[in-house]
């Protein structure tokens, strides 16, 4: 089966600025894939090219097996999109908002009740959208994206502006959609959310792909070692600097973070003990997606 999304050396130039440069990614069918990057990294431009809204300067891409070009409209019938700031008609109720979109897209109006049920808005469907909370508006926008019963869903900052309870609701909804076998491309700056939802991620910076892979594998890569010594850590740090395979050291109180291969844990412990350094704790350094993101984007 062909991937849901493929890009090969996809690039977009605006005058002298490269918004996206030689982007090559694959999103497999049925997975939740995270597209991450600081503001201005090229995420929005990438989505616009995939949807046929912006013509690439060079490179190739395909959506659900259909290359960008005249035939893309056929594939787009199987794609649902939620943008970061969805527009709604405030004086129409939730169901009426969706009916307008269904008619415009020549979609069976009976889908409206179904998508309202999926996002948990059926009990508020007859209330004016202007009375909806931000979380309800986000769910209504996701309902709109579900109207065509899409194989692929693109969600751009779906939890933007939500309180913690609203974020949990949207996160649970995304899990539900993924469990149905839909492919989800998730663009978000809420990195702990991405870490919980996505199997794989791609990280962009200044239009370039700087990291890509399975989330667990990325967090294990060059994970490092965390140790705590008894007494003054200065002596331990001096000894660690002498090891050729230690590439960096960070101290936080009595805790030392050692940039070194994870398989060196036992060797490191033995080395310090032989030099009369009492190690109270030692193990692999826990790493979050946020920490990894800040490291690879150079924001730390």
Q: Which of 204, 219, 234 is the last residue of a domain?
A: 219
Instruction: Please tell me the distance from the alpha carbon of residue 116 to that of residue 144, in angstroms, as a whole number.
Output: 9
Q: How far apart are CA 107 and CA 277, in angstroms?
A: 71
What's 283's domain CATH number?
3.30.70.980
Question: Which of these three, 219, 247, 274, is where a domain ends?
Answer: 219
Alpha-carbon dihedral sign for residues 93, 94, 98, 99: negative
Same domain as 241, residue 155: no
The rounded distance, in Å, linking the Cα atoms of 137 and 159 is 11
* Residues 208 and 227 grouped into a single domain: no
CATH number at residue 24: 3.40.50.300
pLDDT of residue 127: 96
215, 201 Cβ separation under 8 angstroms:
yes
DSSP H stretches of helix in 180-245: 191-197, 215-220, 234-241
Residues 58 and 200 in one domain: yes
Query: 140 and 269: one domain?
Result: no
Residues 21 and 150 in one domain: yes
Q: 204 and 248, same structural domain?
A: no
How far apart are the C-alpha atoms of 137 and 120, rounded to whole Å? 12
pLDDT of residue 131: 95
Domain extent, residue 54, equals 5-219
For residues 60 and 207, membership in a common domain is answered with yes
25 and 134 fall within a common domain: yes
Per-residue pLDDT of the chain (300 residues; tens, 9 = 90+): 799 999 999 999 999 899 999 999 999 999 999 999 888 899 999 999 999 999 999 999 999 999 999 999 999 999 999 987 788 999 999 999 999 999 999 999 999 999 999 999 999 999 999 999 988 999 999 999 999 999 999 999 898 888 888 888 889 999 999 999 999 999 988 888 898 999 999 999 999 999 999 988 887 765 688 888 888 889 899 999 999 988 888 888 888 888 888 788 899 899 999 998 888 988 877 777 887 788 778 765
How many structural domains comprise the chain? 2
Instruction: Pull the structure tokens for residue 112.
Output: 């409206």
How many CA atoms lie less than 13 Å away from 195 in the CB half-sphere?
A: 14
Same domain, 110 and 18: yes
The reply to whether 71 and 169 lie within a common domain is yes
Partnered with residue 26 across adjacent β-strands are 6
Q: Is 74 found in the same domain as 175? A: yes
243 and 127 both lie in a single domain: no
- Domain-terminating residue out of 191, 219, 247: 219
Angle (CA) 123 126 132, round 5°: 80
């Amino acid at each position: 089966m062909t991937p849901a999304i493929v890009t090969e050396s996809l690039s977009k130039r605006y005058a002298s600025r490269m918004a996206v440069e030689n982007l090559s990614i694959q999103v497999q069918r049925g997975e939740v894939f995270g597209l991450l990057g600081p503001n201005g990294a090229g995420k929005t431009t990438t989505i616009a090219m995939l949807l046929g809204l912006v013509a690439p300067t060079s490179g190739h891409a395909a959506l659900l097996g259909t290359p960008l070009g005249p035939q893309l409209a056929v594939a787009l019938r199987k794609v649902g999109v939620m943008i970061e700031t969805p527009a709604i008609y405030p004086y129409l109720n939730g169901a009426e908002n969706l009916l307008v979109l269904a008619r415009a897209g020549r979609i069976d109006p009976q889908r409206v009740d179904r998508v309202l049920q999926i996002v948990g808005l059926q009990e508020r469907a007859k209330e004016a959208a202007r009375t909806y909370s931000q979380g309800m508006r986000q769910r209504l926008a996701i309902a709109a994206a579900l109207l065509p019963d899409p194989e692929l869903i693109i969600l751009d900052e779906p939890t933007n502006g939500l309180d913690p309870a609203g974020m949990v609701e949207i996160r649970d909804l995304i899990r539900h959609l993924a469990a149905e076998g839909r492919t989800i491309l998730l663009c978000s700056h809420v990195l702990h959310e991405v870490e919980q939802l996505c199997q794989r991620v791609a990280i962009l910076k200044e239009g370039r792909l700087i990291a890509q892979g399975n989330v667990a594998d990325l967090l294990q890569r060059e994970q490092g070692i965390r140790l705590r010594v008894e007494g003054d850590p200065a002596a331990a740090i001096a000894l660690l600097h002498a090891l050729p395979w230690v590439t960096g050291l960070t101290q936080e109180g009595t805790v030392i973070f050692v940039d070194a291969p994870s398989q060196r844990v036992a060797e490191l412990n033995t080395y310090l003990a032989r030099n009369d350094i009492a190690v109270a704790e030692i193990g692999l350094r826990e790493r979050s997606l946020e920490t990894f993101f800040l490291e690879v984007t150079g924001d730390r």
